[in-house]
C-alpha cells in the first residue's frame, strides 16, 4: 500500500510572508483611493448640474479639514500607486525594440514616472493659473 500522503500547506495570511507580497497588497490597496477620488469628482459634477447653490455648497464642503486631510492622504497613496505601477510596467508590456535593441526596463519605468510628474506639474500650473 502506498504511504504517499502529499501535504498541502495553508495559504492563510500569505501576503504577510514576503515583503514583496506586502508591497503588492499596498499597491492594490492604494487603488481604492483612485476610485474614491473619482467618486468625489463625480459627486462634484452632479452638484454642478444641480445648480449654483449646490455647487457652492460642495465647494464649501471640500474646505472641511477632514476632506483636506483625506486629500493629502490620497495624494500620498496615489504617488505610491503610480510609483509601483510604473515599476511593474516593463514586465507587462511587449518588448519595445529601438534600433534593433530592446529598450531596458529602467528606461520604461523612468519614462513613465517622468511623464506622470510632468503631467501633474502641468495640471498644477493650469489650476494655479485659474485660481489666481
Partner 1 sequence: MAEGQKTIEIEVLRYHPENDTEPHAQVFEIPFTDDMSVLQGVQYIKDHLDGSLSFRWSCRMAICGSCGMMINGVPSLSCQTFLRDYYPARVRVEALAHFPIERDLVVNMEGFIEKLESIQPYIIPREARTLSEGEYLQTPEQLGAYEQFSSCINCLLCYAACPQFGLNSRFVGPAALALLHRYNADSRDGGKAERMELVNSEDGVFNCTAVGYCSEVCPKHVDPANAVNQNKTNSAIDYFLRFLAPKGGAR
Burial of 51 (0-12, 13-18, 19+ CB in 10 A): exposed
Contact 81, 32 (CB under 8 A): no
Q: How far is the CB of 106 from partner 1 (least distance, A)?
A: 14
Count of residues near partner 1 by CB under 8 A: 26
Q: Which of 41, 49, 97, 98 binds partner 1 (CB under 8 A)?
A: 97
Cβ neighbour number for residue 33 with a 10 Å cutoff: 19
Backbone angles phi, psi at 102, to 5 degrees: -75, 130
Q: Which of 45, 88, 107, 115 binds partner 1 (CB under 8 A)?
A: 88
Q: How far is the CB of 53 from partner 1 (least distance, A)?
A: 45
Only one of the segments 2-10, 57-65, 74-82, 123-131 lies at the binding site for partner 1 (rule: CB under 8 A); that segment is 2-10
Q: Which of 13, 21, 96, 116 binds partner 1 (CB under 8 A)?
A: 21
**CA distance linking residue 34 with residue 119, whole number of Å:** 16
Q: How far is the CB of 85 from partner 1 (least distance, A)?
A: 9
CA proximity to 78, closest of 34, 28, 121:
34
Judged by the rule CB under 8 A, the positions of this chain that interact with partner 1 are 3-9, 11, 14-15, 17-18, 20-21, 24, 28, 88, 90-95, 97, 100, 102
Amino acid at each position: 500500500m502506498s504511504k504517499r500522503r502529499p501535504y498541502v500547506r495553508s495559504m492563510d495570511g500569505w501576503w504577510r510572508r514576503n515583503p514583496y507580497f506586502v508591497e503588492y497588497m499596498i499597491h492594490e490597496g492604494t487603488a481604492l483611493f483612485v476610485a474614491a477620488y473619482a467618486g468625489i469628482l463625480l459627486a462634484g459634477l452632479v452638484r454642478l448640474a444641480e445648480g449654483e447653490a449646490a455647487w457652492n455648497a460642495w465647494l464649501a464642503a471640500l474646505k472641511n479639514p477632514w476632506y483636506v486631510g483625506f486629500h493629502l492622504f490620497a495624494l500620498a497613496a496615489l504617488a505610491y500607486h503610480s510609483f509601483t505601477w510604473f515599476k511593474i510596467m516593463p514586465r507587462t508590456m511587449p518588448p519595445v525594440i529601438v534600433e534593433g535593441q530592446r529598450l531596458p526596463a529602467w528606461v520604461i519605468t523612468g519614462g513613465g514616472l517622468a511623464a506622470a510628474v510632468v503631467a501633474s506639474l502641468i495640471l498644477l500650473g493650469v489650476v494655479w493659473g485659474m485660481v489666481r
